[in-house]
Every structure is written in C-alpha cells, then in structure tokens.
Structure 1
Amino acid sequence: MKMLAIDTSTHVLGIALADEQKILGEYTTNIRKNHSIRLMPAVESLMKESGTAPGDLEAIAVTTGPGSYTGVRIGVTTAKSMAWALNIPLYPVSTLQMFAQNGLGFPGLVSPLIDARRNQVYTAVFSGETTKNIVERQADDQIILLSEWLGMLDQRQENVLFVGEDTDTRRPLIQEQLGSRAVFADWAEQTPRPAEIIRVARTIGEPREAHAVVPEYAQLAEAEKNWQKTQSGRSE
C-alpha cells in the first residue's frame, strides 16, 4: 500500500512516502516558517522526485495533535482534502505517539513532551519495550502541569525516557523530581520522523473516511475559550 504521511503539528514540518516495504522519501524541516505556505509544495516535490502520481496513493496518514492549534489544523485540513479528492482512506495518528516512537526499545517508560504554555505540557506515557514495532500506549494524551505529571511518573518507579524538543528547557525540574531515573533522548532523537507515522498507521491505525477525522487539541483553543466566555455572558 502506497501511503503518504503528513505532520505539521509542531514547528517541525514532516512528510513521508512509502510503499509496502520501502520508504520512498522523507522531508523534514525544523524551522519557524509558515506550514500553510510550504506544505503542498513539499508534498508535490517529494511525490515528483519519487515518481508518484496522486492517483498512485492508496492511503494518507496525518498527525491529529495535540500540538499547535494552527499547525494541527493545517495538516488535518490538507490531508482530509487530499483523501476526499482521491477517495482513499485517512489514518489519524497521535502526535505524541509519533514522538514516542523515537524511544522504541528503551527499557522503561517513554514520555513525549510538547509545550502547552503556562507550565503545562501535552504528554502521554508509553512502554518502550514491545514485541511490536511501535511503543505501547499506557496513558491517554493529555494536557497537564509538568510538576503534576512528574509526580505521577515518580510513583511508577521506572526509568523514564523524555523525548521532544521541549525537554531541554525542563531538564532541571525533571531531574529534581525523578533523579537518575530521568533519561533524555539524544539531540538527534528529539525531532520526530514522519516515516513513523506510517509505521503506526499500518500497525495499529484505523482507516477512516476523510470527514470523520478531526483535530485532537486536548483543550479548547484560546479563541474558542474566549468565544464561549462571551456566549456565557450573553446568556446570563
């Protein structure tokens, strides 16, 4: 099955294209530039270089969050539009699961971290040791105060591998609470690989029709919160 993967849920822009047993190409940048302008040219370039026509695609996989509200929306909207136009299934994949794949094989827990502001993080926990080719989920995606999350991990009494580019700034607090049980991924493993989206989609993913896939923000966007406050004030 020839599958295209798209990730724009953080500053990283990632695209991958694979057939049954081979990665045909990957495109990854980690720069603060507008995904909405760069995504489709990158997709078109990767497909052209690999000799893949749109009609050759049999499925699309996309990260649905949590992460940047705008970034998630760009990726999901683009993937849905392509899947609908091509009449092919769409596979939603958690952004945190994609990040956690960098910890595959770690003898302990894997906790990806994405900044959610106000001392909060988007996170989840996975087991690095697995008989499959994907890390095994042990907790749902959530938004939580980092200090509270570390307290919960401390109770597990296991080593924890932290992955994600937001781990370095939080290293002192993590080490203070978990001590030597806190392990940090190598710098090259902090950036997610879009090919892992395809691995996850193929292993545990559920194909859906394009209209059924929605962003998973783990919280309301700031604009939505303000709108709800306004509506609540009007109804009082």
Structure 2
Amino acid sequence: MIILGMDTSNDTLGVSLWRDQSVIGEIVTNLKKNHSIRLLPAIADLMEACDLAPQDLDKIAVAQGPGSYTGLRIGVTVAKTMAWDLKIPLVGVSSLALMAQNGRFFDGLVVPVMDARRGNVYAGIYEANGETVIVKQADVHLSFAELLMNLAEKDAQDVLFIGDSIANFKTEIKMALGERAVLAGEALCYPRPAFLGELAHLDTGVPAHTFVPTYLKLAEAESKWLEANQDV
C-alpha cells in the first residue's frame, strides 16, 4: 500500500510517502510562506524523487485539524481533489495527534499545543506507551489556564508539552506543574508528515466528497456574524 500524506495545518508544510510499513520520502519546511503555492510542487517533487506517479497511490492522508483555517482549507482541498480524481480513500488525521507522535517515547502524558490566540489553545492529552501514543482526552479548544488546571488535577505523571508556542507559556507551565512539566526541544515541536502513513494505513477512510476539516471553533468573522444576528 502506498499512502501520500500532507500537512498544512500550521506554518509547517509537510509531505510524505509511505509504502509497506516504511517511509520512503518526506519534505518538511517550517516557513511562514503561502502553502497554496508550495504544496503541489512539493508533492510533485517528492513523487518524482521516489519514482512514483499519482496512479500508484492507494490512499491519501491529510492533517484534518485543528489549526490555521487557511492552512487547513488548502491541504484539505488538495487532498480531496486528488482522492476524488484518483478514486481512492481519504483519511483525516488529527493535527494534534500527528504532533504528539514526537513524544511517543516519553514516559508520561504528551500534550500537543497550538496557539489559538487570546490566551486560548488547541490541545489534546495523549499518553505515550513506548511505540505510539493513545488518546486520553480528545482535542479541544480552551484557555491555556483551563488546560493547566486540568493537568494539575491529574495524577503525578510527568507531562511533555509539544508545540512551537509553548515557550510563550513557560512561566505558567512551571508554576502549575513544577517538576512534572517538560518542554519539548524546538526540533520536536513541529509535526512530522512521516507519521501520517503510519496513522492512516489501517483506517478505511471516507469518500472525498464527505470529508471536512476539524476546526474546533468558528472563525472570528463567523462568530461575530452569529453574535450580531442571534436575535434575528
């Protein structure tokens, strides 16, 4: 089985190819550049380097969210278009679950975090078991203070925070969790598309036309419109 994976849910742009339990190619950049003009060339370059054509693909895996609204729409649109055209399944993978894979050898809880602005974050709580991570608490949108309160109430497990925004919360993390808290190094804070095939290969996927991103919250413009029209 050959799976093309793509992630545009944040500043990181990642593309990977997975074949028969192995990652055969991967492209990753962490640049604040427009994914809409870089994703398709990255896919083409990777497939050419791996001597594969679109018709060789059996499945497509895409980071489904949460994350950047614009980024998610770019990745999901490309993934849906390719899956539809090739008539192959499309599998959505949580963007936070993808990030959490970097902590799979940590002995304790793994908490991937994405900045959602105004003191809020997207976060999930996972537990590492040496080879993978399992979900302990589903991905949510909440204030970072609420997240820390939730973690402080749990047992004495150590907690690994992963994400490029965690440095902004270092003081709050240490105050709430003390020595239980571990902040991942910068190289571990970015999602690796290489894990997409592994996470998606046992998932049967869905038809492309039924697939939608997971935003976890409305866009600011949508929220303001609903507030302004709630009594209409």
* TM-score by shorter chain over 0.5: yes
Give the match for residue 49 of structure 1: 49
Q: Secondary structure at the match of 1:64?
A: strand
Alignment of 1:82-161 (within 5 A): 82-129=82-129, 133-156=131-154, 157-161=156-160
Rounded to whole Å, the distance in 1 between the matches of 2:43 and 2:2 is: 14
Rounded to whole Å, the distance in 2 between the matches of 1:202 and 1:167 is: 30
Pair 1:211-2:209 in alignment: yes
Give the match for residue 175 of structure 2: 176
* CA drift at 1:21: 2.8
Give the match for residue 191 of structure 2: 192
Give the match for residue 28 of structure 2: 28
Q: Is the 8 A contact 2:3 2:201 kept in 1?
A: no
Q: Secondary structure at the match of 1:219?
A: coil
Q: Secondary structure at the match of 1:150?
A: helix
Q: Is the 8 A contact 2:89 2:204 kept in 1?
A: no
Rounded to whole Å, the distance in 2 between the matches of 1:183 and 1:80 is: 37
Q: Secondary structure at the match of 2:201?
A: helix
One-letter amino acid matched to 1:141: D
Q: Is the 8 A contact 2:17 2:24 kept in 1?
A: yes
* CA drift at 1:206: 4.0
One-letter amino acid matched to 1:84: W
* CA drift at 1:38: 0.6
* CA drift at 1:232: 2.9
Give the match for residue 69 of structure 2: 69
Rounded to whole Å, the distance in 2 between the matches of 1:74 and 1:215 is: 10
Give the match for residue 164 of structure 2: 165
Q: Is the 8 A contact 1:134 1:200 kept in 2?
A: no
Runs of 4+ in 1 over 4 A off after TM superposition: none
One-letter amino acid matched to 2:68: S
Rounded to whole Å, the distance in 2 between the matches of 1:184 and 1:174 is: 9
* Deviation digits for residues 84-134 of structure 1 (CA, Å, limit 9, x no counterpart): 00000001000000000001021110000000001011001000125xx42
Rounded to whole Å, the distance in 2 between the matches of 1:229 and 1:182 is: 38
Q: Is the 8 A contact 1:134 1:199 kept in 2?
A: no
Give the match for residue 19 of structure 1: 19
Give the % identical residues.
45
Rounded to whole Å, the distance in 1 between the matches of 2:187 and 2:57 is: 30
Where structure 2 has 5 or more consecutive residues not aligned to the other structure, the ranges are none
Rounded to whole Å, the distance in 1 between the matches of 2:162 and 2:183 is: 7
Where structure 1 has 5 or more consecutive residues not aligned to the other structure, the ranges are none
Cα RMSD over matched residues? 1.2
Q: Is the 8 A contact 2:14 2:192 kept in 1?
A: yes
* Deviation digits for residues 46-89 of structure 1 (CA, Å, limit 9, x no counterpart): 11111110100000000110010110111111100000000000
Q: Secondary structure at the match of 1:171?
A: helix
* CA drift at 1:231: 3.6
